[in-house]
Structure 1
């Protein structure tokens, strides 16, 4: 199951917003407690807490756990935006799904979002999956993905273009305005809002 996590790291990208606040710095000095398979213990603890409150999911397999983006600062910031409910979407490059022969995300699939160090922060569930050309992404979708109302579409386009361009260039390809984006909307299902 880890190859899919690596793939998700490549495609689930968030972008920088106007916030300069460091998020998750208190976790950086903590010692990681891992399970036998190298996954932080907090992941199984969060899933257990969730299934105690929602026993209908007790027999479900624990979902994949992963973080958004490809660096610690952004991964921790995006985990916090997910936890607060500001980030409610993620964007992947359709051609990467094809390249890695990976299944597209599906509605109803859950994921445990972690910080960069693998500490569980939230459980999300996909509520919508669509493929949309890059140049047809809406301002509303960009707001959900970026977690901000300040110039979300401009920020989304710049950050995602740059991010996708770096992956495409590795294979000798270039981004285009019509490249297909896998647009996933999700809702946070755990922890519950206070």
Structure 2
């Protein structure tokens, strides 16, 4: 439940564009269908609870673009503010946790599994990590810093805070486990 609260906060606190209400984020049947196909091909997960489903960002263009990058295996990381976990009294992501990534309209696109989690100051994010998060090798660190500084600035402004170069970022590495390319 803590993760649902955090994910809802992250989606609603995202940088720009149209946002969805709780009613609009109703579970699409494709989420359960994807999970059932996954456990049919991976029976070792048969007794596991269906993972949470969510989309990256808060607007259609970015959510769908990022889901496509996950499917292509190009996006293999995600970033959040450490303070968000503290404020939500939520645990940091755990290695082995799975999530069902959807498009903006909630249609299941992929299942990811967390492979590594670390907290890193904003100003110490590496180019290699940025490339995995942004899904590009074209100036990934420059693009990561701009996109995330803007995103965190807007989200923090709502609570009267300002970003700093040394703010802690929760860096979450993952792999796409279904469907496999």
Give the alignment's TM-score, normalised by structure 1: 0.84
> 2: CA distance between counterparts of 1:3 and 1:148?
29
1:125 aligns with 2:113: yes
Is the contact made by 1:47 and 1:62 (CA closer than 8 Å) also made in structure 2? yes
> 2: CA distance between counterparts of 1:129 and 1:8?
17
Q: CA RMSD in A?
A: 1.7
SS in 2 for 1:144: helix
> 1: CA distance between counterparts of 2:7 and 2:133?
19
Is the contact made by 2:127 and 2:140 (CA closer than 8 Å) also made in structure 1? yes
With over 3 angstroms needed to count, the CA separation of the structure-2 counterparts of 1:96 and 1:5, relative to structure 1, is: closer
Aligned partner of 2:73 in structure 1 is: 85
Question: Displacement of 1:7 after TM fit?
Answer: 2.9
With over 3 angstroms needed to count, the CA separation of the structure-2 counterparts of 1:3 and 1:88, relative to structure 1, is: same
Question: Displacement of 1:111 after TM fit?
Answer: 0.1
> 1: CA distance between counterparts of 2:71 and 2:38?
14
Structure 2 residues without counterparts, runs of 5 or longer: 16-24
Aligned partner of 1:44 in structure 2 is: 32
1:3 aligns with 2:2: no
SS in 2 for 1:182: strand
Aligned partner of 1:109 in structure 2 is: 97
1:185 aligns with 2:173: yes
Give the alignment's TM-score, normalised by structure 2: 0.90
Question: Displacement of 1:171 after TM fit?
Answer: 1.0
Question: Displacement of 1:70 after TM fit?
Answer: 1.3
Aligned partner of 1:96 in structure 2 is: 84
| Structure 1 counterpart of 2:140, from 135, 143, 152 | 152
1:52-92 deviation per Cα after TM superposition (whole angstroms, max 9, x unaligned):
00001011000000000111100000000000000000000
Structure 1 residues without counterparts, runs of 5 or longer: 15-36
